[in-house]
Amino acid sequence: MSELITVKQQGEARCEGLSYQDLLNEESIEVPAYLRENTNPFMGNDDLDVARWVGRDFHEQEKKKLWPKVWQMACREEDIPEVGDHHVYEIVDQSIIVTRTGETEFKAFINSCLHRGRILRDCDGHAEEFVCPFHGATWDINGNFKGIPCKWDFSHLDQKDMSLPQVKIGTWGGFIFINFDENCVPLEDYLSPLPEHFSRFPLHDYYKGAHVERVVNCNWKVGAEAFMESFHTLETHSEILTFTGDANSQYDTFGDHVSRSVTPMGVASPHLPEVTAEETMRDILELSGRMATDSAEGHEMPEGLTARTYVAETNREMFSDIIGEPLDDATQSELEDAILYMLFPNTQVWTGYHGNIVYRFLPNGDDHNSCIFETMILMRYPKGTKRPEPAMKNTLRPDQAFSEAPEIGGLGPVFDQDDSNMAAVQKGMIASKKGAVSLASYQESRIRHLHQTIDKYLNA
Amino acid sequence: MAITDTLIPATDITDNQTVAVTLNGKKILICKANGDFYAVDNQCTHQRAELTGGRIRNCYLACPLHGVRFDLRTGKPIGELTRVPLKTYAIGLADNGNLKIEID
């Protein structure tokens, strides 16, 4: 257990009833250490100014001091499977070509021609070399300058370094990260303790089974924060309370860049003490976006079994079949709970053996009042079989509901409910006379953590 | 009037492969993606470059010259280089196992 447990915690009060750690005590399988971590050091209870979300100045500061300094997830390795494949990653007003240069080698170039500045690649794709569509200046995929038509007119370039400028690049879990800062901390330091906590979930071996994105009319942080606390379940997703331990959730922070929420599933909300085990089971099978099945049909809960155990054991069997190997050492918690990590600033990843959800919230270009909300679902495939091709990104129109994306199944209707708040929060913050938001001490502590880390970058 | 023409055996083309053919003087590219066949004009709408050998990923064909991607199902381009869709043709299987397409 972390030493942090001995320091003052953020919010001393907790919801009555079973805690997540109590549920872990009921596991019949040895609980891995990362689940026993329970750390939420005190961060204070001050209000946060709405300017952080709605102010143009704050966005300009992020543009100058946050995005140029942080490690940020650009894409999945599987998005660019062959040498020469590339992904154009755009953040605020910057554009990067992330390209595969070898079997396990990647490079990230500033997407701007060294002749007249046009972006070199307009979209994702494959290239034997990067030829600027404007005048034809050309680089090989390693960024070495190969020439420009009418060389006689460019003798003055002979003395210049014409290699394409690069930014830092690194990988973890099948994700590719970039960082504009030459002096940044190594990716592995930045990620800690994510790799250790995900050691039972080899995400580099998962494939992207779904990828959906849509513009949402709110600041990227409003979007991210919609997924950083389970407190909103009561009012926003009331139909899932029969199987969601919303107020029993545990919230942790690990250093500056990682935080976690664990929301027990397969148990009823403490707000609904009358719910029976049968109701919990029926609803989780039908309504959870993350169950192996999506219907209660054909499921008979054996006498004396809790819904939590039944669902976990059902998932154990189904996930084992999908993966093609037994999951004997998986805890019930890992088989059904919502264990969601955030990697600062804008990427969130669920743990799990199959169907791990990933969220990313990017500023929508240079607009601080809108963002691009992306969901990916990382899936497993039978060991020893060919890795399936990753899903193409499905870009929904701004007027489309997430439930119009069948590939995300039960998540769609849940996101639609979140969507009903996101733009409305932005609008309400702009209208606010109070000019500040107040956070729950414990349940919204990860949001405070996000902002305190942002401040560290902006004040550096 | 639509002309139906039979082409190569369907078994001659594998997934993510392109085969260039000429029919009635028209240069057409036969593509296979995710097990399905597609037929499109073999000429990029950006700079008229041949699309033969362009990389197919999922249902998108990339022009080898500047990388414009076209949705093989609709011909619709992605990116800024062109907004003009690629012409697509109906393609199917003839009784003899060859691919057949209809051209105007």
pLDDT digits 0-9 by tens, A153-191: 999 999 999 999 999 999 999 999 999 999 999 999 999
**Tens digits of residue pLDDT in A299-338:** 676 777 888 998 899 899 999 999 999 999 999 999 999 9
Are A125 and B69 a contacting pair at CB < 8 A? yes
Residue A190 lies in a domain: no
Per the model's pLDDT, the better-predicted residue between A283 and A67 turns out to be A67
Interface test with B, best of A97, A99, A124, A207 (most B CBs within 10 A): A124
Inter-residue contact A264 to A333 (CB < 8 Å) = yes
* Cβ-based contacts of A123 with chain B (< 8 Å): 67-69, 78-80
Q: How much is the average pLDDT of A50-61?
A: 98
Q: Is residue A406 a part of any domain in this protein? A: yes
Residue A212: inside a domain, yes or no? yes
Residue B104, CA distances (Å) to A85, A426, B35, B48, B91 in order: 36, 53, 26, 20, 13
Q: Which pLDDT score, from 0 to 100, does residue A296 have?
A: 60
Q: Do A122 and B81 touch (CB under 8 A)?
A: yes
Select from A138, A157, A183 the last residue of a domain: A183
Angle at alpha carbon of residue A344, lines to A338 and A349, rounded to 5°: 30
- Structure pTM? 0.91
Q: Are residues A383 and A447 both part of a single domain? A: yes
Does A94 lie in the same domain as A131? yes
Residue of A nearest to B71 (CA): A392
- For residue A132, the domain's CATH number is 2.102.10.10
ω into A345 cis (within 30 of 0): yes
Q: What is the pLDDT of residues B32-52, one digit of tens each?
A: 999 999 999 999 999 999 999
CATH number of the domain where residue A424 is located: 3.90.380.10
Supply the ipTM of this predicted assembly: 0.74
Chain A residues 251-310 within an 8 A CB cutoff of chain B:
none
Q: CB pairs below 8 Å between A and B: how many?
A: 37
- Shared domain check, A139 and A110: yes
Torsional class of B79: left (φ above 0), alpha (ψ -120 to 50), beta (otherwise): left
Assign residue B52 the CATH number of its domain: 2.102.10.10
Final residue belonging to a domain, choices A183, A218, A250? A183
CA distance A345 to A348: 9
Domain that holds residue A315: 3-54+201-458
If one counts the domains in chain A, the total is 2
Which residues have C-beta within 8 Å of that of residue A83, sequence separation ≥ 6?
A100, A101, A102, A103, A141
Question: How far away is chain B from the Cα of A214, in angstroms, using its nearest Cα?
Answer: 16
